[in-house]
């Protein structure tokens, strides 16, 4: 067993003596373009770890405290890899999580695999992350295939509910691993569902003006626009789309990213994002009318850290911390191989690990939680409301389909 901060000592009677902490490493973008998202995830992890420790820590390890140690990827693959190596070799963590950006998580999990250190994916959706036959990589949240399917399912559902079908879609996405993976899945599903893809356009990195892309979108005359953009690009794109008053009969459908980030909504006028459809990584109105003290305490702590309430990214941070707690309680050791085996046997059907809205966490042979799912929201009257799945839709929620033209807003 590798050396760890939490060392189990026993006396003649077999009773466990005091321990310090079990180390959990988290690689996240705490600075750079995705810093807002990374710090929201960190806040969720921090709030959950505090709550776990206040409740007695890891009881199977004699009450050892859980300690989260963070590494800043800066959204850069090489730095994320270096931070992964530091957490494994210098900090001697027992388990890793992260890293939101698929372009970081993909190579970082290779490092974890070589070092036989379990990694629980947080946020990253690139399909191939859990399709390489790795033994030490596990993903709680959706992969890109699931995100794309949910978007197309919602478009189909809205068409059937109203008798008004979208037939032509345009794709605009960030040019990295996440965006290209999402676009590839949309293309495949569109072909199966008889949707015409009339534009397929990646965004070059560091773009400071989307005028030319918006002109292409206008010229292609889509019924709906599907986007996958991180926060900085989503801010600029939304502002310019509104300035050009580009009408999309069946709206803008985002795969998340910037449109799940509370700082995005704080930076744009509500009118600019009216009627946006967003594939959410948690049910955005999940806390409405909720009274569970555990969830409300976490929401209060997250709000204290961030200055705003829960988000999908904070919820994912909460989930991964509670999955680690569950695994350690079952493994009864800090040994990395034993933790990997416990992760593979995970089957969580209740409790705060399901905070993002899942009904179950159980990994398949590739390490993917096949019970993961998101929800689709629409921004209606200034509030994001869940519209898909129908079972998650509030009784007072009526989707707006098609959406009003700019001249009628």
C-alpha to C-alpha distances, 246 to 172, 196, 212, 241, 256, nearest whole angstrom? 14, 20, 13, 6, 21
Main-chain phi, psi angles of 200, to 5 degrees? -140, 100
Q: How far is CA 138 from the centre of its chain?
A: 14
107 lies in the same domain as 178: no
Q: Is 166 contained in some domain?
A: yes
C-alpha to C-alpha distances, 24 to 18, 96, 310, 336, nearest whole angstrom? 19, 6, 22, 11
pLDDT digits (tens, 9 = 90+) for 110-138: 999 999 999 999 999 999 999 999 999 99
Q: Is 196 contained in some domain?
A: yes
What is residue 205's predicted lDDT score, i.e. its pLDDT?
Answer: 82
pLDDT digits (tens, 9 = 90+) for 331-386: 999 999 999 999 999 999 999 999 888 889 999 999 999 999 999 999 999 999 99
Q: How far apart are CA 10 and CA 250, in angstroms?
A: 65
223 lies in the same domain as 74: no
What is residue 1's predicted lDDT score, i.e. its pLDDT?
Answer: 36
274 lies in the same domain as 391: yes
86 lies in the same domain as 150: no
192 lies in the same domain as 247: yes
249 lies in the same domain as 174: yes
What is residue 289's predicted lDDT score, i.e. its pLDDT?
Answer: 63
What is residue 290's predicted lDDT score, i.e. its pLDDT?
Answer: 67
274 lies in the same domain as 395: yes
234 lies in the same domain as 211: yes
Q: Report the 10 Å Cβ neighbour count for 291.
A: 7
Q: Is 274 contained in some domain?
A: yes
Question: What range does the domain containing 157 cover?
Answer: 145-280+374-408
Cβ–Cβ under 8 Å, residues 379 and 275:
yes
Q: Is 16 contained in some domain?
A: no
Per-residue pLDDT of the chain (409 residues), as tens digits, is 333 343 332 233 333 334 579 999 999 999 998 999 999 999 999 999 999 999 999 999 999 999 999 999 999 999 999 999 999 999 999 999 999 999 999 999 999 999 999 999 999 999 999 999 999 999 999 998 999 999 999 999 999 999 999 999 999 999 998 999 999 999 999 999 999 999 999 998 888 999 999 999 999 999 999 999 999 999 999 999 999 999 999 999 999 999 999 999 999 999 999 999 999 988 888 777 666 788 889 999 999 999 988 898 999 999 999 999 999 999 999 999 999 999 999 999 999 999 888 889 999 999 999 999 999 999 999 999 999 999 889 899 999 999 999 999 9
Q: Is 4 contained in some domain?
A: no
User: For residue 75, what is the domain's CATH number?
Assistant: 3.40.50.2300
The number of residues making up the chain comes to: 409
Specify the number of domains making up the chain.
Answer: 2
Q: How far apart are CA 125 and CA 142, in angstroms?
A: 6
175 lies in the same domain as 256: yes
396 lies in the same domain as 302: no
Q: Is 175 contained in some domain?
A: yes
200 lies in the same domain as 293: no
Q: How far apart are CA 318 and CA 353, in angstroms?
A: 7
Q: Is 9 contained in some domain?
A: no
User: If you write DSSP's letter for every residue of 319-343 in order, what string do you get?
Assistant: HHHHHHHHHHHHH-S--HHHHHHHH
Q: Is 43 contained in some domain?
A: yes
Residue 69 β-bridge partners: 25
What is residue 7's predicted lDDT score, i.e. its pLDDT?
Answer: 34
208 lies in the same domain as 173: yes
Which residue is it, tokens 């494994």?
88
Q: How far apart are CA 79 and CA 103, in angstroms?
A: 11
């Amino acid at each position: 067993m590798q050396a760890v901060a939490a060392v189990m000592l026993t006396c003649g009677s077999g009773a466990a003596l005091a321990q310090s902490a079990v180390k959990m490493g988290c690689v996240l973008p705490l600075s750079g373009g995705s810093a807002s998202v990374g710090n929201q995830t960190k806040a969720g992890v921090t709030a959950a770890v505090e709550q776990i420790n206040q409740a007695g820590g890891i009881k199977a390890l004699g009450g050892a405290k859980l300690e989260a140690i963070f590494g800043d990827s800066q959204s850069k693959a090489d730095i994320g890899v270096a931070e992964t190596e530091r957490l494994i070799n210098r900090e001697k963590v027992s388990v890793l999580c992260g890293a939101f950006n698929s372009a970081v998580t993909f190579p970082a999990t290779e490092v974890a695999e070589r070092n036989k250190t379990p990694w629980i994916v947080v946020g990253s959706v690139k399909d191939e992350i859990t399709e390489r036959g790795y033994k030490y990589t596990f993903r709680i949240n959706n992969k890109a295939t699931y995100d794309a399917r949910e978007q197309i399912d919602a478009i189909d559902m809205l068409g059937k509910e109203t008798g008004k079908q979208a037939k032509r879609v345009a794709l605009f996405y960030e040019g990295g691993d996440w965006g290209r993976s999402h676009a590839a899945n949309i293309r495949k599903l569109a072909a199966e569902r008889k949707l015409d893809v009339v534009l397929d356009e990646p965004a070059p990195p560091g773009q400071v003006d989307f005028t030319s892309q918006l002109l292409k979108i206008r010229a292609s005359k889509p019924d709906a626009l599907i986007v996958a953009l991180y926060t900085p690009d989503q801010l600029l794109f939304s502002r310019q789309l509104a300035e050009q008053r580009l009408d999309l009969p069946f709206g803008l459908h985002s795969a998340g990213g910037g449109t799940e980030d509370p700082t995005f909504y704080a930076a744009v006028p509500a009118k600019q994002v009216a009627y946006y459809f967003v594939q959410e990584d948690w049910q955005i109105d999940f806390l409405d009318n909720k009274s569970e003290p555990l969830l409300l305490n976490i929401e209060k702590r997250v709000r204290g850290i961030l200055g705003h309430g829960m988000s999908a990214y904070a919820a994912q941070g909460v989930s991964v911390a509670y999955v680690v707690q569950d695994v350690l309680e079952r493994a009864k050791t800090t040994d990395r191989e034993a933790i990997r085996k416990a992760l593979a046997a995970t089957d969580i059907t209740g409790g705060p690990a399901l905070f993002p809205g899942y009904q179950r966490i159980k990994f398949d042979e590739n390490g993917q939680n096949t019970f993961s799912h998101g929800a689709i929201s629409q921004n209606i009257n200034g509030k994001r409301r869940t519209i898909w799945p129908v079972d998650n839709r509030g009784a007072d929620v009526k989707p707006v389909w098609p959406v009003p033209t700019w001249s009628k807003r």
